[in-house]
Amino acid sequence: MAHGGRIAAISALLAATAAAFVLPDWIISLATIAFANGLVVLGLIVMWRAGLVSFGQAMYYCIGAYAVALIGRWTGVTDAVALVLIGGACAGLVSFVVGFLLARYREIFFAMLSLAFSMILYGVLVKTESLGSTDGFSVIVPTFLGYAPHREKLLVALYWLVLAVCASAAVLVDIYFRSLAGALAIPVRDNEIRVEFLGMAVSRLIHTKLVISGLLGGMGGALAALAVGHVDPNMSYWTTSGEFVFITILAGAGSVAPAFVGSLVFESVRSFAFAVLPQLWQMLLGSVLLLTILFLPQGLGSLITRLRWRRNVEAP
Amino acid sequence: MLTAFAILIDGLVYAAYLFIVAIGLTLIFGVMKILNVAHGSFYTFGAYGAATAVAIYFDRGLPDAGGFLLMVLFAMILGLALGLILERGVMRLVYGRDEVVMVLVTYAAFLVLEDIVILVWGPGSYATYQPLLAAGNIEVGELILSNYDLGLIVVAALLAAVSYWALKFTRYGMLLTAVIFDRETAAAFGINVRVVYTVTFVIGAMLGALGGAIMAPKIAVTLGIGVEVIVLAFAVVAIGGMGSIEGALVGALIVGICRAAAVHLVPQVELFVIYGVMALVLMIRPYGLFVRAQPRKI
Amino acid sequence: MLNRGSSLGGVLGTLWVLVSLLEVAIPPAQAQNAAPAAAPVKLGIVSFLTGPAAAPFGIPGRNGAEIMIEAMNAGKVPAPFNKVGFGGSNIEAKYIDEAGSAANVVTEFRNLVQRDQVDAVVGYVSSGSCLAVTPVAEELKALTVFYDCGTPRIFEEKSRAYVFRVSPHATMDSVAAARYLLAKKQDVTSYSGINQNYAWGQDSWRDFAGAMQVLAPKVTADKALFPKLFAGEYGAEISTLLTSKSQILHTSFYDGDLEAFVYQEQARALDKRMTILATTGEAAMWRLRDKMPNGTMIGGRGPHGPLAPDSDLNRWFQKIYTDRYSIPPTYPAYQMAMSLLGLKLAYEKARKGDAKPTTDEVAAAFKGIEFDGPSGKVKLAIGDGHQGISETAYGTYRFNKEKNEPEIVDIIRFPAECVNPPAGINADDWIKDGMKGAKC
């Protein structure tokens, strides 16, 4: 991130944090869920830079969410930070195991195989009547390092937690993008075979990216579970994955910030469409997406690049 | 013994359904390398078109066979129109871009078309059962089979045979095969790839609409029928291999028979069957069953 | 023109971001401009307006709300509901789609309560939505009335203060189904079931099989099939059932899937071998007409539609609904009507003088309320006064060829305490323990 970009990002973060005092509750709730989803989208961006689109990201989202819900229910752990880390770790573990298989695939077959896994998880959860099947079950109210807020304070606390997690993730992922492994993503997308000839192990690289995106997806799911207060198998359904991919394309693969901005804009537009056209909201959403693809080919990220004073080299 | 026979017939019927639905998708996918999410919309429009045709035709005392024909014709005209509008109007604007972006465009089109269905036909559901019941049934031992289902199997087999013949033995079919194999080289040889794209897309749309029309008498034509079909079609295409008609056929057969066996013998796993089969096939053959040897491009 | 980095693109993109952020500003501004003269009552009505659940449940529910609210605002509802609106205040309704994930549903609920400042939310078809919304409703102290969702878990998991459900829950349907079956077909030896593979279908089968186990332990369950929700294609399932020796087929399939199943089994004459017991069949009968097999045992999730007891109110409701929407009201419309009437009564009971009652006052008045609506008598007797119970009815379907109309005959009514668990006992446990305390 260039110097100017860094200042912009920090001020945006501060503004978002301060906004909690000014904005009405329902906007804070919407933003919390949007940023939690933005974390999942960030994971997808990590993989899209390497040319892979996963239609099974919902699986990690669901694992993170169910991990939080189950641990909160079965053990006494209610600390939000711990729950989010555990949720992310569970999803990361699964992505590590699954990655051995998945890292060998590309393009449509990668997408379909990841979809298959997420749908198998869906099937398992639907069959598990003790977990409420498709009705799901509720998530316990979290505490924050001993502090147990209620109502509006809980909402703000969750919002700040989400902001903190997203900011840390954004910084870490940005560092990753600048590292060798992260920078290799673009060459891998362009021509994998040449990268191999240069001596890099592409499979291992992809595997690492899979684990990172699994971790991010799991943390996003954990945060979403805490924010919504309810988990159900639908979180692993392919249409959920489709939504994340939708936002990813809107955001563009350029940098980190668009993941969150894109997610926020998507939630707002959808809410707007619901309120304005209760029966035809799909048409509004679809048209907006179409227009974006046609007129903003690099996604929302390009909008941000254009707004900067110094015109950076366009993100690949 | 009876169970084995029942599994076979049920498997074939479900396979016929999958194949009819998937063939349009695999064609578009093989030629244009796009995963066309709007295929669900073609299916939906075909079904609603059939519902309208049936409502106009049946219960007037006219011969039943005419009803079948009208239904299919109506749907295919809708498919033709829709395919043309979509391809010339929307897809043309995004050719050359990243494939994922093209998928997103088809997804956006799908969303818009879903709501157009609400605008044209309303949110209620339509009944098109007349062709199904008019076909009658036939008893085989303890089992009673619907003639319409058996007809489906025949239609699917015909479709497979005709597409196979068309691809292998007609000039246009060979052009298509060339484009599936290697788009750039085909263009270098003078094939007008743009026209091929349009024709393929429209044929794919008509096949999708045909699928919807044929299934309409069995189901309640209502909102959301396109959504489930998309995933099923994708799965069959992934199993069979991109652009391969034989692949779609074999994939449909495998999934159909496995699912029928699951329902009869182990109903608990019925939900997983298609995804399990897909995962298994992809693990053994990462590019689908009928993959052509691809040269690695450096 | 459409190349990268086009300025048109930039303008469009900026516009879009601005609009989406502006939309958060407009509704609150509008709310402030509204003249508080006769302080109307604002209701949020949520049901499926898109997707496969729209046609059978969401739209009839929405229509039921629309026609009832119109009638209430005009003061045309028969006594004792004839006050205009809610106790003199006009009702303003905002209709929202229930579609989307749990996160969407919760977000839209918060929007209704906090952005649009509705006084109460009435709605929700899916049990998943109800379960997700309940804790939020309690947290926001928002008066919420669930009209259709069936799961008993809502009031069994915890006692609630602001959430109510006038419509009895789904356990009643399956228990009554078992009782009706045994009353009509004493010689049954085996039954099978085909239910959708998700919570509703699984719960319905479990309740039914459990009730049968208690009432007639010698009758066995043969095939229990669970096709995917909205599968649409039931060839293999029908083949399996054709090879079964059961006399009865239990199904909780509703509209789209029920219609598809009926057409497909008719083509293969399954109903000649097995009688179908459709617990939600009433909603589909007007569309299936002569295609629903004669002799099907049919329920309507309560005494609704043709299963409702005859009364002036019932006849009035059927007339205004059919006049407007050209099709008789089905049970979701009845459930919505009953929920709105219950809310109206609670409002009027809580209202003192001209001031609008607070949410807490309405909730206190709503608790334990008892009244007669188009579906007969309902009493919020369980769930600590928040969950309604009523009698229910099952009948046998017949298509009357002379009148060219579907009808339900051989109706048996089951008293509320016969088919609902008593206060304080979980529905599941009640069935497992032999349905003690049932007064039939």
Q: Domain boundaries in chain C?
A: 22-170+309-390, 171-300+391-432
Q: Which residue of A has its CA nearest to B38?
A: A286
Predicted confidence at residue A301, as pLDDT, reads 64
Predicted confidence at residue C341, as pLDDT, reads 94
Q: Hey, CA dihedral for C285, C288, C291, C292, is it positive or negative?
A: negative
Do the domain assignments include residue A288?
A: no
Most trustworthy range by pLDDT among A57-61, A277-281, B176-180, B182-186: A57-61
Q: How confident is the model at residue A316 (pLDDT cuts 50, 70, 90)?
A: low
Of B5-9, B239-243, C375-379, where does mean pLDDT reach its minimum? B239-243
- C-alpha C77/C-alpha C84 separation (Å) is 9
B217: CB partners within 8 A, 6+ apart:
B50, B54, B128, B129, B130, B131, B132, B148, C263
Do residue B127 and residue C288 have CB atoms under 8 angstroms apart?
A: yes
Do the domain assignments include residue A63?
A: yes
Question: Are the CB atoms for B64 and B217 separated by under 8 Å?
Answer: no
Do the domain assignments include residue A155?
A: yes
Both structure tokens of A215:
């971790």
Instruction: For residue B100, give the amino acid letter.
Output: V
Do the domain assignments include residue A1?
A: no
Contact with chain A for residue B120, Cβ under 8 A: no
Predicted confidence at residue B100, as pLDDT, reads 73
Query: Rounded to the nearest 5°, which phi and psi values hold at C413?
Result: -100, 140
Do the domain assignments include residue A264?
A: no
Do residue C267 and residue B143 have CB atoms under 8 angstroms apart?
A: no
Question: What distance in Å separates residue A193's CA from the closest CA in chain B?
Answer: 7
Q: Which residue of B has its CA nearest to C240?
A: B264
Predicted confidence at residue C12, as pLDDT, reads 47
| The pLDDT of residue B277 is above 80 | yes
Instruction: For residue C92, give the amino acid letter.
Output: E
Q: Mean pLDDT, consecutive 10-residue segments, chain C of 440 residues? A: 39 51 49 52 92 87 94 89 86 92 92 92 93 92 93 89 92 91 91 91 92 91 88 86 90 87 88 91 84 90 88 93 91 94 92 84 92 92 90 91 88 90 88 86
Do the domain assignments include residue B293?
A: no
Pair type for strands B143-146 and C91-97: unpaired
Predicted confidence at residue A239, as pLDDT, reads 85
Q: Which residue of B has its CA nearest to A194?
A: B298
- C-alpha A232/C-alpha C326 separation (Å) is 38
Question: Are the CB atoms for C210 and C432 separated by under 8 Å?
Answer: yes
> ipTM of this model?
0.85
Both structure tokens of A147:
């502090």
Grouping H, G, I as helix, E, B as strand and the rest as coil, residue C434 is coil
- C-alpha C110/C-alpha A71 separation (Å) is 27
Best mutation target, B28, B227, B275, to test chain A (most A CBs within 10 A) = B275
* Mean pLDDT for the stretch of residues A299-307: 62
- C-alpha A58/C-alpha A179 separation (Å) is 27
- C-alpha B6/C-alpha B141 separation (Å) is 11
Query: What does the mean pLDDT of chain B come to?
Result: 85
* Mean pLDDT for the stretch of residues A152-160: 86
Domain of residue B195: give its range.
2-284
Question: Are the CB atoms for B290 and B241 separated by under 8 Å?
Answer: yes
Most trustworthy range by pLDDT among A60-69, B49-58, B100-109, B215-224: A60-69
Question: Are the CB atoms for A230 and C132 separated by under 8 Å?
Answer: yes
Convert the pLDDT of each residue in A197-246 to its tens digit.
888 888 899 999 999 999 999 999 999 999 999 999 999 998 899 889 88
Best mutation target, B218, B225, B272, B274, to test chain C (most C CBs within 10 A) = B218
The chains in contact with chain C, meaning 3 or more Cβ pairs closer than 8 Å, are: A, B
| The pLDDT of residue B281 is above 90 | no
How many domains does one find in chain B? 1
Predicted confidence at residue C5, as pLDDT, reads 37
* C228 contact residues in B (CB cutoff 8 A): 228, 270-271
* B3 contact residues in C (CB cutoff 8 A): 243
The answer to whether the C22-170+309-390 and C171-300+391-432 domains have the same CATH topology is yes
Do the domain assignments include residue A173?
A: yes
Do the domain assignments include residue B143?
A: yes
* Mean pLDDT for the stretch of residues B219-231: 83
Do residue B90 and residue A101 have CB atoms under 8 angstroms apart?
A: no
| The pLDDT of residue B66 is above 90 | no
Question: Are the CB atoms for C57 and C6 separated by under 8 Å?
Answer: no
Question: Are the CB atoms for C248 and C277 separated by under 8 Å?
Answer: yes
Contact with chain B for residue C100, Cβ under 8 A: no
Report C:35-74 residues touching A (Cβ under 8 A): 49-50
pTM of the predicted model as reported, rounded to 2 decimal places: 0.87
Q: Hey, CA dihedral for B99, C101, C304, C253, is it positive or negative?
A: positive
Do the domain assignments include residue B224?
A: yes
Contact with chain B for residue C99, Cβ under 8 A: no
Both structure tokens of A26:
């329902």
Predicted confidence at residue A162, as pLDDT, reads 92
Predicted confidence at residue C440, as pLDDT, reads 83
Do residue B110 and residue A286 have CB atoms under 8 angstroms apart?
A: yes
Question: What distance in Å separates residue C390's CA from the closest CA in chain B?
Answer: 30
- C-alpha B291/C-alpha B237 separation (Å) is 11
Q: How many CB pairs under 8 A join B and C?
A: 136
- C-alpha B194/C-alpha B52 separation (Å) is 34
- C-alpha C3/C-alpha C7 separation (Å) is 10
* B235 contact residues in C (CB cutoff 8 A): none
Q: Residues C316, C322, C326, CA angle at the centre, nearest 5°? A: 170
Say which DSSP state B142 is in: T
Q: Higher confidence at residue C51 or residue A171?
A: A171
Domain of residue A189: give its range.
24-236
Q: Is the bond preceding residue A187 a cis peptide, omega within 30 degrees? A: no
What does CATH list as the number for C171-300+391-432?
3.40.50.2300
How many domains does one find in chain A? 1
* C225 contact residues in B (CB cutoff 8 A): 263, 267
Do residue B104 and residue A127 have CB atoms under 8 angstroms apart?
A: no
Convert the pLDDT of each residue in B142-159 to its tens digit.
788 888 888 889 999 999
Angle between helix B39-57 and B2-32 (nearest 10): 120
Query: Rounded to the nearest 5°, which phi and psi values hold at C66?
Result: -60, -45
Both structure tokens of C181:
């079956």
Convert the pLDDT of each residue in A115-144 to its tens digit.
989 999 998 998 888 888 888 888 888 888
CATH value at residue B122: 1.10.3470
Q: What is the Cα C195 distance to its own chain's centre? A: 18
Both structure tokens of B90:
């929307």
Longest dimension (CA), chain C: 79
A168 vs A215, A258, B57, B296, CA distance in Å? 13, 15, 64, 40
Residue from the list C9, C97, C131 with its beta carbon closest to the beta carbon of A274: C97
Do residue A289 and residue B108 have CB atoms under 8 angstroms apart?
A: yes
CATH topology for the C22-170+309-390 domain: Rossmann fold (3.40.50)
Predicted confidence at residue B242, as pLDDT, reads 75
